[in-house]
């Protein structure tokens, strides 16, 4: 049997589901899927879960699962791990928008937007940003050379 999957839900550890919900809805444009909300104690305490869907109307959309399994935001900041990546058409416009929203942008080696060139000359630009719990996420723009 070959493994098949319709979609994926990316689980993010959060310390405050309602604060994270606001960030993902207002800054990134996700929408709550109430069918999959689990409010463990009526106050979104430990082991609560909330699923948010990307606002994409096509099959390229995906879901994030906010899971209350930490008490405080990550500190020190995580250095490795799974990093959800969002593909955009204009990385500079996205970076500028995030700055107006006071989203934390990681500066790596003195720069915000990092560029890589593949062996075949394909240019990939990206930057890392943080949610309210210091989960690391990526904005990526692919540019054909």
Report all structural domains of the chain as residue ranges with CATH numbers, in order of start.
6-72 (3.10.180.10), 76-145 (3.10.180.10)
CB-based contacts of 73-81 (< 8 A; 24+ apart in sequence)? 73/15, 73/132, 73/133, 73/134, 74/13, 74/133, 74/134, 74/135, 75/134, 77/130, 77/134, 77/136, 78/134, 78/135, 78/136, 81/136
With a pLDDT cut of 70, the percent of the chain lying above it is 87
**What confidence score (pLDDT) does residue 60 get?**
63
Say how far apart CA 35 and CA 12 lie, in whole Å: 18
Question: Would you say 108 and 116 are in contact if contact means Cβ atoms under 8 Å apart?
Answer: no
Compute the residue count for the chain: 145
- pLDDT (tens digit per residue) in 76-96: 776 666 678 888 889 999 999
pTM: 0.80
For the record, the structure tokens of 87 come out as 């593909």
Say how far apart CA 53 and CA 61 lie, in whole Å: 7
Lowest mean pLDDT among 19-33, 34-48, 59-73: 59-73
**What confidence score (pLDDT) does residue 5 get?**
61
């Amino acid at each position: 049997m070959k493994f098949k999957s319709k979609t994926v839900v990316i689980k993010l550890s959060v310390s405050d589901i309602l604060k994270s919900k606001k960030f993902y809805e207002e800054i990134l444009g996700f929408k709550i899927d109430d069918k999959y909300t689990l409010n463990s104690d009526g106050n979104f305490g430990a082991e609560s879960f909330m699923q948010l869907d990307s606002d994409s109307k096509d099959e390229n959309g995906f879901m994030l699962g906010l899971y209350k399994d930490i008490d405080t935001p990550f500190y020190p900041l995580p250095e490795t791990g799974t990093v959800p990546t969002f593909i955009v058409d204009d990385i500079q416009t996205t970076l500028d928008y995030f700055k107006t929203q006071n989203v934390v942008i990681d500066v790596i080696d003195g720069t915000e937007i990092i560029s890589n060139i593949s062996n075949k000359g394909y240019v990939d630009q990206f930057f890392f940003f943080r949610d309210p719990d210091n989960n690391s996420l990526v904005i990526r723009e692919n540019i054909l050379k």
